[in-house]
Structure 1
Amino acid sequence: MSWIGIILVVLGLYFAFKVAGFFLKLLMWALVVFGIYWFAAPYLGLPQFF
């Protein structure tokens, strides 16, 4: 494998971890928003999911 190939593999892994981190943060925010809605819905008179 040449140096260019090694650099491309390292950059690909770096960007893969960045994308995975972004989606994990997005999932965590979705869970937080769902949790806030689940706790606040009865007090605000909003429809509940469960």
Structure 2
Amino acid sequence: MHWLGIAMMLVGLYLALKVAGTVLKLLMWILVLVGAYLFAAPLLGLSLPF
């Protein structure tokens, strides 16, 4: 394998890990927001979606 191919593979792996980290952060925020809504909805008199 040529050195340029190895460099491109490493950059691609780095970008894939960055994208995976961003997706996991977004999922964590969604879980936090849903959990906060499920906790606060009865206290505020809002209806639950289920």
Q: What TM-score comes out, normalization by structure 2 length? A: 0.95
Alignment of 1:1-50 (within 5 A): 1-50=1-50
Identity of aligned residues (%): 60
Shift in Å, 1:46: 1.1
Q: Deviations over 1:12-48 (max 9, x none)?
A: 0000000000000000000000000000000111120
Quote how far apart the aligned CAs of 1:49 are. Answer: 2.1
Following TM superposition, where does structure 1 have runs of at least 4 consecutive aligned residues deviating by more than 6 angstroms? none
* Length-normalised TM-score, structure 1: 0.95
5+ residue gaps in structure 2?
none
Q: Distance in 2 between matches of 1:22 and 1:3?
A: 29
> Residue type of the partner of 1:47?
S
